[in-house]
């Protein structure tokens, strides 16, 4: 029983440390990850909010070229 309490406490301590180390920029980029796989949605979101998703993935088009 005590080992479960200890492990839970350690888990919460480590989670708190990792969350405290995030910068505001990191938090914003984490919030924008749902747009990372859809370049068009990322462009629309940037146009509406001014926030830029840095991790937008490019997918090949039918002609073999990648999205810009």
Tell me the pLDDT tens digit for each residue of 42-60: 888 888 888 887 776 655 5
| Whole-angstrom distance, CA of residue 27 vs CA of residue 18 | 12
Triad 65, 66, 68: Cα angle to 5°: 125
Which residue in this structure is represented by tokens 């479960």? 4
pLDDT in tens, 2-15: 899 999 999 999 98
Q: Are 37 and 29 in contact (CB under 8 A)?
A: no
Output the pTM of the full model.
0.45
Residues 6+ apart with CB under 8 A from 39: 56, 57, 58, 59, 67
């Amino acid at each position: 029983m005590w080992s479960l309490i200890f492990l839970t406490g350690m888990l919460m301590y480590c989670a708190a440390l990792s969350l405290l180390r995030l910068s505001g920029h990191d938090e914003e980029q984490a919030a924008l990850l749902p747009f990372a796989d859809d370049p068009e949605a990322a462009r629309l979101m940037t146009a509406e909010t001014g926030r830029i998703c840095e991790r937008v993935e490019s997918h090949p088009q039918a002609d073999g070229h990648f999205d810009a």
